[in-house]
Amino acid sequence: AVNPEPLPPGPAPLPILGNVRDLTAKELWLVAHKWAKQFGDVVYVHILGQGLVFLNSPEATMDLLERKGNIYADKPAFVMAGELCGCDNMVAFTRYGDVSKRQRRLINQAFGVQVIPSYHPLMQTEARSLIRRLVTDPTNYMADTRRYAGGLTLSVVYGYEASGHNDKFLSLGEECVDLLSNKIASGGGIWPVDVFPSLKHLPPWAPGSGFLRKAAQWKTRMEEFVNQPYNFVKASLETGNYVPSFCSMLLEDEERRSSPHFEFDLKHTANSMYSGSMDTTITMFSHFLLAMVLHPEVLATAQKEIDSVVGLDRLPTFCDRASLPFVDAVVSETYRWAVPVPLGMFICLPHRLMEDDVYRGMFIPKGSLVFGNIWAITRDETLFPNASAFIPERYLEKVDPALARKRDPRRYVFGFGRRRCPGGDLVESSVWILITSVLATLDISKAKDTSGNPVEPRVHYNNSVFRLPDRFECNIRARSESALRLLQQAQSAE
């Protein structure tokens, strides 16, 4: 039947092929933002008939992904990522239904808002050890942040203590998340087998079958990523020598263990929490460093606030949070300015519409892949004037509560509706204590060249999923002798 309502507007497609040529592997969010400016807050394109819908405003994302969340909660089934590379059981890929609901319930048990305070002491200790490592060797800040973020999850989820940059599970995590976001996701592009599924039956000698060999290798690696840390917990439980963790607690629960899906759900959920926590946190922290390098006045104001509230005789703790509004504004602005997952990953983060829908007189066909365009929203000049600049003060203006809520970047950067990121409450604490402890103890500035002139940081983005900058130059050092002393005392006390 022909639908009376028109499709949402968008760039003109080619016959049959659609908008294939408009999609880019790198920084697709910039292209989608251009469309938003040209065509409005609901944009439709198609690739060989597969509809893609970009929702570019808070209203459109809330109306559809939140209020009509029950029909916008599915995920697409991609042959390459799912069936061939074995990622279909990772939480972000699971179709909406019993499995995804069971997995999300499990995550909520580990990382729901009610349990996060029990990890505060661990986060505090780990943030301080990260700072001590930064003081000793500031050049390694990316790897150090991975150790902080990945280490926290490994510890909480698997009871595993990461031992250094070359730790086997940290390296495995780094390799596999990179594999997933930059190879399996085809650098944001599309695998022919996802358009023509019968290609998966190509014999190994056939021209063009190379992707099948790649997929087989990647699948093995992804399976190791899921199984190895999980097997570590099981083995340590058997010896009785283990640190209690999310996995050990569930493995000891006889009643749950007898459920038929138990092991499957637990190991995939644990793995999804681990993979979700690394590059996102590194993206946040690198942008925080970048913002401090570019805005020494913000660093100075935040340090002054901490000095006056916390004093110089101790390090900040979670108890100080309510008394540090400027620091909170720096954290909020870092979420917005960093946008760790600006558009969602082409292959796994769009939501799949489960029924035909009509929105503001526009027809959105069942099966469309719907993107909440987080980038466009966080760069909206009416909500965030001078949006490309880092301005924490914007959150300190007195505005009515509804507008303040609309301007809170946490409403957007974690995605929407029934697939919204389940790690948000963890990050809210882990990133806050990290940023606050760094502000209290470190100075961050531009690097100097050999003649002592400041070097402008050069920032490049080469990741198709996370807005993760390549490492840039900056200068990180202890703020004072007394800061160093406090860090050392903290270490002796731990």
Q: What is the enclosing helix (H) or strand (E) of 46?
A: strand 42-47
Q: How far is the CB of 420 from ligand HEM (least distance, A)?
A: 5
Nearest CB to ligand HEM, comparing residues 272 and 436? 272
Is there a contact between 126 and 281 (Cβ–Cβ < 8 Å)? no
Q: Is 102 helix (H, G, I), strand (E, B) or coil?
A: helix
The values of phi and psi at residue 413, to 5°, are -65, -15
- Count CA atoms within 13 Å of residue 494 on its CB side: 15
> Minimum Å distance from CB 351 to ligand HEM?
6
**For ligand HEM, which is the closer residue by CB, 124 or 303?**
124
Distance between CA 55 and CA 58 in Å, rounded? 8
Rounded CA-CA distance 422/427 in Å is: 10
The least CB distance from residue 262 to ligand HEM, in Å, is 18
Work out how close the CB of 489 gets to ligand HEM at its nearest, in angstroms, rounded to a whole number: 30
Closest contact distance (angstroms) between CB of 61 and ligand HEM is 9
Which CB sits closer to ligand HEM, 61 or 124?
A: 61
Q: Cβ closer to ligand HEM: 280 or 437?
A: 280
Work out how close the CB of 348 gets to ligand HEM at its nearest, in angstroms, rounded to a whole number.
Answer: 8
Q: Which residue matches tokens 């204590």?
A: 433
Determine phi and psi for 42, rounding to 5 degrees: -130, 115
Return all residues near 218 (Cβ < 8 A) that are at least 6 apart.
Answer: 85, 179, 183, 184
Give residue for tokens 């509004």: 325
Question: How far apart, in whole angstroms, are the C-alpha atoms of residue 347 and residue 81?
Answer: 8
Binding site for ligand HEM (CB under 6 A): 91-92, 100, 104, 107, 111, 272-273, 276-277, 280-281, 284, 340-341, 344, 349, 351, 372, 413-416, 419-423, 426-427
291-299, long-range: CB within 8 Å, 24+ apart, which pairs?
291/330, 291/333, 291/334, 291/337, 291/390, 292/444, 292/445, 293/444, 293/445, 293/446, 293/457, 293/474, 294/390, 294/457, 295/390, 296/445, 298/330, 298/390, 298/392, 299/439, 299/443, 299/444
Would you say 450 and 420 are in contact if contact means Cβ atoms under 8 Å apart? no
The answer to whether 445 and 295 have CB atoms below 8 angstroms apart is no
Distance of CA 175 to the CA centre of its chain: 16
Q: How far is the CB of 187 from ligand HEM (least distance, A)?
A: 19
Residue 11 Cα distances to 36, 163, 171, 200, angstroms:
10, 51, 42, 32
Q: What per-residue string of b and e applies to 242-269 under the rule 16 or more CB within 10 Å gives b?
A: beebbbbebbeeeeeeeeeebeebbbbb
Q: Which is nearer to ligand HEM, 100 or 186 (CB)?
A: 100
Query: Between 315 and 431, whose beta carbon lies closer to ligand HEM?
Result: 431
| CA distance linking residue 470 with residue 456, whole number of Å | 14
CB of 339: closest distance to ligand HEM in angstroms?
A: 8
Which residue, 211 or 379, has its beta carbon nearer to ligand HEM? 379
CA distance 399 to 409: 15
Would you say 5 or 63 has its CB closer to ligand HEM? 63
Report d(CA 416, CA 402) in Å as an integer. Answer: 18
Q: Are 125 and 491 in contact (CB under 8 A)?
A: no
Query: Min. distance of Cβ 210 from ligand HEM in angstroms?
Result: 30
Residue 421 marked ligand-binding: yes
In the bound state with ligand HEM, the residue whose beta carbon lies nearer, of 92 and 438, is: 92
- Whichever of 13 and 469 has its CB closer to ligand HEM, that residue is 469
Shortest spacing between CB 111 and ligand HEM, in angstroms: 5
Annotated binding site: 421
Which residues sit in the known binding site for heme? 421
